[in-house]
Copies of this chain bind each other. A is one copy, B any other.
Amino acid sequence: MKLTESLWISIEDIYDKILRHPFIRGLTDGSLDEEAFRFYVIQDALYLKDYARGLALLGAKAPEDQWLMMFVEHARDVVVVERALHESFFKEWRLTDEEVYSTPMAPTNLLYTSYLLKTAYDRPFAETLGCFLPCYWIYGEVGKELQKRGSPKELFRRWIQTYSSEQYASIVRQVLEVMDQVAQGLKDGDLELIRKHFIVTSKMEYLFWEMGFHKQTWGI
Protein backbone atom coordinates (compact mmCIF):
# COMPACT_ATOMS: atom_id res chain seq x y z
CA MET A 1 0.00 0.00 0.00
CA LYS A 2 1.25 3.47 -0.77
CA LEU A 3 2.10 5.58 2.26
CA THR A 4 -0.52 8.17 1.34
CA GLU A 5 -3.24 5.49 1.17
CA SER A 6 -2.29 4.32 4.61
CA LEU A 7 -2.13 7.92 5.88
CA TRP A 8 -5.68 8.60 4.71
CA ILE A 9 -6.93 5.51 6.52
CA SER A 10 -5.34 6.91 9.70
CA ILE A 11 -7.51 10.00 9.52
CA GLU A 12 -10.77 8.63 8.13
CA ASP A 13 -12.55 9.22 11.42
CA ILE A 14 -11.18 12.76 11.64
CA TYR A 15 -12.28 13.46 8.06
CA ASP A 16 -15.77 12.11 8.79
CA LYS A 17 -16.05 14.42 11.77
CA ILE A 18 -14.97 17.35 9.60
CA LEU A 19 -17.69 16.60 7.04
CA ARG A 20 -20.28 16.42 9.81
CA HIS A 21 -19.07 19.58 11.53
CA PRO A 22 -21.80 22.26 11.82
CA PHE A 23 -19.50 24.78 10.10
CA ILE A 24 -19.21 22.57 7.02
CA ARG A 25 -22.86 21.55 7.08
CA GLY A 26 -23.83 25.19 7.55
CA LEU A 27 -21.91 26.18 4.42
CA THR A 28 -24.03 23.87 2.28
CA ASP A 29 -27.44 24.24 3.91
CA GLY A 30 -26.88 27.97 4.34
CA SER A 31 -27.38 27.84 8.10
CA LEU A 32 -23.87 29.06 8.96
CA ASP A 33 -23.78 32.35 10.82
CA GLU A 34 -22.17 34.91 8.51
CA GLU A 35 -20.27 36.34 11.50
CA ALA A 36 -18.65 32.95 12.06
CA PHE A 37 -17.85 32.69 8.36
CA ARG A 38 -16.27 36.13 8.40
CA PHE A 39 -14.28 35.24 11.51
CA TYR A 40 -13.10 32.12 9.72
CA VAL A 41 -12.10 33.89 6.49
CA ILE A 42 -10.06 36.52 8.35
CA GLN A 43 -8.28 33.82 10.34
CA ASP A 44 -7.70 31.93 7.11
CA ALA A 45 -6.04 34.99 5.56
CA LEU A 46 -3.68 35.16 8.56
CA TYR A 47 -3.06 31.43 8.32
CA LEU A 48 -2.20 31.55 4.62
CA LYS A 49 0.54 34.12 5.18
CA ASP A 50 2.33 31.71 7.48
CA TYR A 51 1.50 28.67 5.38
CA ALA A 52 3.22 30.37 2.42
CA ARG A 53 6.32 30.95 4.55
CA GLY A 54 6.28 27.34 5.65
CA LEU A 55 6.07 26.16 2.02
CA ALA A 56 9.10 28.30 1.18
CA LEU A 57 10.99 26.53 3.99
CA LEU A 58 9.76 23.17 2.74
CA GLY A 59 11.09 24.09 -0.70
CA ALA A 60 14.43 25.11 0.80
CA LYS A 61 14.78 21.67 2.39
CA ALA A 62 13.62 19.70 -0.68
CA PRO A 63 16.20 17.09 -1.74
CA GLU A 64 15.08 17.29 -5.39
CA ASP A 65 15.21 20.52 -7.42
CA GLN A 66 11.88 19.59 -9.00
CA TRP A 67 10.27 19.61 -5.57
CA LEU A 68 11.97 22.84 -4.59
CA MET A 69 10.40 24.42 -7.68
CA MET A 70 7.00 22.98 -6.90
CA PHE A 71 6.85 24.13 -3.28
CA VAL A 72 8.14 27.65 -3.92
CA GLU A 73 5.52 27.98 -6.68
CA HIS A 74 2.88 26.88 -4.19
CA ALA A 75 4.25 29.41 -1.68
CA ARG A 76 3.62 32.13 -4.24
CA ASP A 77 0.19 30.71 -5.20
CA VAL A 78 -0.88 30.71 -1.57
CA VAL A 79 -0.16 34.45 -1.36
CA VAL A 80 -2.18 34.92 -4.55
CA VAL A 81 -5.13 33.05 -3.03
CA GLU A 82 -4.76 35.03 0.19
CA ARG A 83 -4.91 38.28 -1.78
CA ALA A 84 -7.93 37.13 -3.73
CA LEU A 85 -9.80 36.90 -0.42
CA HIS A 86 -9.24 40.64 -0.05
CA GLU A 87 -10.57 41.48 -3.49
CA SER A 88 -13.61 39.31 -2.97
CA PHE A 89 -14.75 38.83 0.62
CA PHE A 90 -12.99 41.61 2.50
CA LYS A 91 -14.06 44.18 -0.09
CA GLU A 92 -17.66 43.06 0.26
CA TRP A 93 -17.44 43.26 4.05
CA ARG A 94 -15.71 46.65 3.74
CA LEU A 95 -12.76 45.39 5.78
CA THR A 96 -9.48 47.20 5.17
CA ASP A 97 -6.14 45.40 5.03
CA GLU A 98 -5.30 47.12 8.28
CA GLU A 99 -8.38 45.69 9.98
CA VAL A 100 -7.68 42.19 8.71
CA TYR A 101 -3.99 42.10 9.62
CA SER A 102 -4.35 43.73 13.03
CA THR A 103 -6.72 40.91 14.03
CA PRO A 104 -4.86 38.61 16.46
CA MET A 105 -4.61 34.96 15.54
CA ALA A 106 -7.07 32.84 17.50
CA PRO A 107 -5.35 30.18 19.69
CA THR A 108 -6.05 27.30 17.29
CA ASN A 109 -4.66 29.29 14.38
CA LEU A 110 -1.51 30.17 16.30
CA LEU A 111 -1.17 26.54 17.35
CA TYR A 112 -1.48 25.32 13.76
CA THR A 113 0.89 27.86 12.16
CA SER A 114 3.46 27.64 14.96
CA TYR A 115 3.48 23.86 14.68
CA LEU A 116 3.95 24.03 10.89
CA LEU A 117 6.80 26.54 11.08
CA LYS A 118 8.52 24.88 14.04
CA THR A 119 8.48 21.56 12.20
CA ALA A 120 9.68 23.16 8.95
CA TYR A 121 12.73 24.58 10.73
CA ASP A 122 13.41 21.68 13.05
CA ARG A 123 12.67 18.47 11.22
CA PRO A 124 13.77 16.83 7.95
CA PHE A 125 11.90 17.31 4.66
CA ALA A 126 9.83 14.10 4.79
CA GLU A 127 8.40 14.80 8.23
CA THR A 128 7.71 18.40 7.35
CA LEU A 129 5.85 17.29 4.25
CA GLY A 130 3.72 14.98 6.41
CA CYS A 131 2.90 18.02 8.49
CA PHE A 132 1.87 20.23 5.55
CA LEU A 133 -0.06 17.52 3.69
CA PRO A 134 -3.44 17.66 5.49
CA CYS A 135 -3.97 21.32 4.59
CA TYR A 136 -3.54 20.50 0.89
CA TRP A 137 -5.42 17.25 0.93
CA ILE A 138 -8.31 17.72 3.33
CA TYR A 139 -9.19 21.05 1.69
CA GLY A 140 -9.25 19.32 -1.68
CA GLU A 141 -11.53 16.55 -0.40
CA VAL A 142 -13.77 18.91 1.54
CA GLY A 143 -13.92 21.17 -1.53
CA LYS A 144 -15.13 18.36 -3.77
CA GLU A 145 -17.72 17.30 -1.19
CA LEU A 146 -18.99 20.87 -0.74
CA GLN A 147 -19.18 21.35 -4.51
CA LYS A 148 -21.34 18.24 -4.73
CA ARG A 149 -23.65 19.45 -1.99
CA GLY A 150 -23.86 23.06 -3.26
CA SER A 151 -25.06 26.00 -1.18
CA PRO A 152 -28.06 28.35 -1.22
CA LYS A 153 -25.85 31.34 -0.38
CA GLU A 154 -23.78 33.02 -3.09
CA LEU A 155 -21.12 34.04 -0.57
CA PHE A 156 -20.53 30.44 0.48
CA ARG A 157 -20.61 29.15 -3.13
CA ARG A 158 -17.90 31.63 -4.03
CA TRP A 159 -15.68 30.33 -1.27
CA ILE A 160 -16.40 26.69 -2.13
CA GLN A 161 -15.25 27.22 -5.72
CA THR A 162 -11.68 28.05 -4.67
CA TYR A 163 -11.00 24.58 -3.34
CA SER A 164 -13.14 22.48 -5.68
CA SER A 165 -11.42 23.24 -8.98
CA GLU A 166 -9.76 20.52 -11.05
CA GLN A 167 -6.62 22.67 -10.96
CA TYR A 168 -6.55 22.43 -7.18
CA ALA A 169 -7.14 18.67 -7.30
CA SER A 170 -4.18 18.32 -9.65
CA ILE A 171 -1.93 20.20 -7.23
CA VAL A 172 -2.96 17.85 -4.43
CA ARG A 173 -2.14 14.81 -6.58
CA GLN A 174 1.34 16.15 -7.27
CA VAL A 175 2.05 16.66 -3.60
CA LEU A 176 0.79 13.18 -2.73
CA GLU A 177 3.11 11.83 -5.41
CA VAL A 178 6.10 13.53 -3.74
CA MET A 179 5.09 12.11 -0.35
CA ASP A 180 4.98 8.59 -1.79
CA GLN A 181 8.32 8.99 -3.54
CA VAL A 182 10.02 10.28 -0.42
CA ALA A 183 8.52 7.43 1.60
CA GLN A 184 10.27 4.81 -0.53
CA GLY A 185 13.66 5.56 0.98
CA LEU A 186 12.50 5.58 4.59
CA LYS A 187 12.53 3.21 7.51
CA ASP A 188 9.45 2.29 9.54
CA GLY A 189 10.43 4.64 12.37
CA ASP A 190 10.59 7.58 9.99
CA LEU A 191 7.25 6.66 8.41
CA GLU A 192 5.66 6.62 11.85
CA LEU A 193 6.99 10.12 12.54
CA ILE A 194 5.42 11.30 9.27
CA ARG A 195 2.14 9.68 10.29
CA LYS A 196 2.28 11.32 13.69
CA HIS A 197 2.66 14.79 12.16
CA PHE A 198 -0.03 14.00 9.58
CA ILE A 199 -2.56 12.99 12.23
CA VAL A 200 -1.78 15.98 14.43
CA THR A 201 -2.27 18.54 11.66
CA SER A 202 -5.39 16.71 10.45
CA LYS A 203 -6.80 17.26 13.93
CA MET A 204 -5.80 20.91 13.63
CA GLU A 205 -7.82 21.08 10.40
CA TYR A 206 -10.86 19.95 12.37
CA LEU A 207 -10.12 22.37 15.17
CA PHE A 208 -9.79 25.21 12.66
CA TRP A 209 -13.46 24.79 11.63
CA GLU A 210 -14.34 24.52 15.29
CA MET A 211 -12.46 27.77 15.92
CA GLY A 212 -14.45 29.50 13.18
CA PHE A 213 -17.78 28.13 14.33
CA HIS A 214 -17.29 29.35 17.90
CA LYS A 215 -15.40 32.53 16.96
CA GLN A 216 -12.74 31.31 19.36
CA THR A 217 -11.24 33.85 21.76
CA TRP A 218 -8.21 33.64 24.06
CA GLY A 219 -10.39 33.77 27.15
CA ILE A 220 -7.74 35.82 28.94
Contact = CB atoms under 8 A, between A and B. Distances in A.
Interface string A189-220: 10000000000100100110010000000111
A19 B121 CA distance: 35
Contact of A220 (B56, B71, B80, B207): B207
Contacts of A206: 220
Interface in A99-123: 107-108, 110-111, 114-115, 117-118, 121-122
Count of chain copies: 4
Interface in A75-119: 75-76, 79-80, 82-83, 107-108, 110-111, 114-115, 117-118
Contact of A114 (B57, B83, B111, B187): B111
B75 A68 contact: yes
Contact of A60 (B53, B65, B73, B110): B53
Nearest to A56: B60
Interface of A: 14, 17, 49, 52-54, 56-57, 59-61, 65, 68-69, 71-73, 75-76, 79-80, 82-83, 107-108, 110-111, 114-115, 117-118, 121-122, 124, 185, 187, 189, 200, 203, 206-207, 210, 218-220
A191 to B, nearest CB: 13
Contacts of A60: 53-54, 56-57, 60, 75
A83 B220 CA distance: 31
A218 B189 contact: no
